[in-house]
Structure 1
Amino acid sequence: MKKILIAPDSFKGSLSAIQAARIIAEEASRAFPQAEVIQLPIADGGEGLVEAVLAFKGGQRHFLQVHNPMMRPVDAVYGELPDGSAVIEMAAAAGLPLVGEGERDIMRATTYGVGELISNAVQRGLDPIYVGLGGSATNDGGVGAALALGLEFTDQHGEIVREAAKLIDVSSVRQSTRFAKTRHSQIIFLSDVKNPLCGQTGASHIYGPQKGASADQVRQLDRGLAHLADVIKADRVKDWRNQPGVGAAGGFALPFLAYFGAQLTSGIDFVLDLANFDQQLLGTDLVISGEGRTDAQSAMGKAISAIARRCEAAGVPLLLLSGSIAPNAAALLKHGVKEMISITPPSQSLNQALAGAGGNLRLAARKYFENH
């Protein structure tokens, strides 16, 4: 082999995309010392987005203290690129890991801290502002973040609604002077989720249980988002509830689409384009990607499916190294993935697999190269 491209996603809970890429690249260089081995750690808008983009483009990190989903202080970071744009991970301020399991309360969880990150980028004059949607603990329809930027959703008594539990009480929208300073900033949301805002395939029903919502809470959350969409429609004419992707991250983008002129675009395509992935494929003999778990979702909009699509179009074989492979993942073999390998020995428990992911990945890569 003359050229090998290493482009893994993160192995959630164990390895970052950068760590995974480094391990695979070390084994590739060991097996093929004369080959050109290129590392392109990938993110699709969720965990690892800022680090991946900074690795491709350079730039600087901005550190600040904001509020986590339960309004407790948390240290967060976002990226400034050389072209004056900003890259923010929603999960840096509203991520599920920021809240202890015993403290999680999806009805009270807020995206206020994400708004603080966006506000800081606006104050620095950064534009456009890219916000990766993923890994959130929230389902507040973005009202918390909007509040931090001066857009206030209020109930019939004029009280500001700050959390998902009160979305059903929203009756009007109020714009403060702070909003006027933010509304002209270009905000672009990065997500590969196709779910609408409401209904059986909406934000609450699909993602609420993963964030700790009970069946009753899921129904309450769904009604709250539907009501919020109704209030916004009455104020802005357009109905956003059925637009694909608005259900991402608990409906976070809704007020931004309606009042800030924000856009939704594919996170993985944004990252792959930044990395000049298609150009990197030229002359490549093998692409190796990886992720923590491969299942039917991997074939429907996740990072792996986008990489596979581009590899197939370029006629370059793609090897996928995964922490675990579900039976329903076989569809990927029809859509650009040449081979899938589970790196985890059958005898290992989940905790053992997470703790030993680095060693498992190294051994799987080494065995593959020894046999090819």
Structure 2
Amino acid sequence: MRILLAPDSFKEAASAEAIAQAMARGVMYGNPQAECRLLPLSDGGEGLTQALVHATGGTLRDVETVDAIGRPITAQYGFLGNNHASCNLHTAVVELASASGLERVSPADRNALTASTFGTGLLIRAAIDAGADRIVLGLGGSATTDGGTGLARALGFRFLDSAGHDIPLGGGVLADLERIDDSEVPDFVKNVPIVLACDVTNPLTGSEGAAHVFAPQKGATTTQVERLDRGLANLAHAIMQYSGRDIEHTPGSGAAGGTGGGMLGLFNASIRPGIELVLDLAHGRESCAWADVVITGEGSIDSQTPYGKAPSGIAKLAQSQGTPTIAIGGTVTRDSRTIEALNKAGIVATFGIAPGPADLATLIAGTERNVEITCAAIASTLRITAATSPCESA
């Protein structure tokens, strides 16, 4: 039996690569004759760089940069290898979460008004200086609501107030923005193609926008949410004056604290669903056609999973190749509406990995072992089913 192991990361517990390896150990225990292929995934957030570098035989690079609150850190970006569809381009992969991610900053240190994407801009600049002529930027997991202005500032843009002074970093001061100056931005930086990998369709502003939906997760109070939303609206106005681009209501412009909108308004950027991009570059269609069954997973299999998340993305692709998909998760929602949506996406069965009642810290610590045990049981069941099916016994 050929089994494709294609999970996303289990957030705050294990990377997609680690989960895929744990799946493989479990499958081999449950069915030593099974043939496994590992395809760690990302929908644009944490793990995008690792997933694409793994899939294409690329390389990782370390860069000295800063986190969302300005502390020095070392973060990574990657270059795709020759095993991808755009081998004529030197493509770098940067995930915003690597430098400017929420998991980089403890809850006590988070500051929704001053958090900045500047460190991600330093990663992109390092990639361009190293020869990148295309950037894939994963939008997800950010600690920021600055509309991507910190990132743009690291690449040479200036954001000026009415007196012509640079406004401070962070989304809390965007309401003071009067004018955008690109006189210090090299043309090759302005023109390099940037593909934004995104798993949300939220607009920049309003009740479904970056501030109202995502900023509370980053420590923003109700008053701060309103301030950030006003700032992003003013940024949209300034971008309209600068480039003539109306980014305020564009789907995906609210991703990563409005970084999606800032990139679309200031750079040669386009946006794509993250999981579609990953599956294209990682030859997902061929892998699904090869497999007899796909096992995928993420931290929580819930009502959001069927809509742009990695498990539904791989399941839909597998379904188009006639291959069924099984999903596992740290938690699994089993209301009828969610089950129906998962089935429609091609996920034929779901399994929770929790072995029984336990506190969250214990469950997180045991994630990889619990993945192994669950996949061993799945593989054993698939082996028994195949051995006793009419076509096998005929």
Q: TM-score range by the shorter chain?
A: over 0.9
4+ runs deviating over 3 angstroms: 178-181
Structure 2 counterpart of 1:254, which letter? G
Residue aligned with 1:263, SS: strand
Q: Does 1:34 align with 2:33?
A: yes
Residue aligned with 1:228, SS: helix
Structure 2 counterpart of 1:23, which letter? A
Q: Does 1:135 align with 2:141?
A: yes
Conservation of the 8 A alpha-carbon contact between 1:151 and 1:179: no
Conservation of the 8 A alpha-carbon contact between 2:31 and 2:380: no
Please identify, of 175-184 and 192-201, the stretch whose mean Cα deviation from structure 2 is larger.
Answer: 175-184
Shift of 1:217: 1.0
Conservation of the 8 A alpha-carbon contact between 2:24 and 2:372: no
Match of 2:129 in 1: 123
Equivalent of 1:259 in 251, 263, 266:
266
Match of 1:317 in 2: 324
Shift of 1:283: 4.2
Match of 1:96 in 2: 102
**Cα deviation digits, residues 66-106 of structure 1 (max 9, x gap):** 11111111111110223421001111110112112211101
Structure 1 counterpart of 2:328, which letter? L
Match of 2:156 in 1: 150
Match of 2:2 in 1: 3
Shift of 1:204: 0.8
Match of 2:240 in 1: 233
Q: What runs of 5+ residues in structure 1 fail to find an aligned partner?
A: none
Match of 2:11 in 1: 12
Match of 1:77 in 2: 76
Please identify, of 361-370 and 220-229, the stretch whose mean Cα deviation from structure 2 is larger.
Answer: 361-370
**Cα deviation digits, residues 180-200 of structure 1 (max 9, x gap):** 341121111111211111111
Conservation of the 8 A alpha-carbon contact between 2:289 and 2:318: no
Structure 2 counterpart of 1:318, which letter? T
Shift of 1:236: 2.2
Cα distance between partner residues in 1 of 2:246 and 2:145:
19
Aligned length: 371
Structure 2 counterpart of 1:256, which letter? M
Shift of 1:230: 1.2
Q: What runs of 5+ residues in structure 2 fail to find an aligned partner?
A: 82-86, 383-394
Structure 1 counterpart of 2:71, which letter? R
Please identify, of 350-359 and 249-258, the stretch whose mean Cα deviation from structure 2 is larger.
Answer: 249-258
Match of 1:338 in 2: 348
Shift of 1:219: 1.1
TM-score with structure 2 setting the length:
0.91
Q: Does 1:215 align with 2:222?
A: yes
Cα distance between partner residues in 2 of 1:327 and 1:202:
29
Cα distance between partner residues in 1 of 2:354 and 2:165:
52
Q: Does 1:199 align with 2:209?
A: no
Shift of 1:327: 4.0
Conservation of the 8 A alpha-carbon contact between 1:110 and 1:144: yes
TM-score with structure 1 setting the length:
0.96
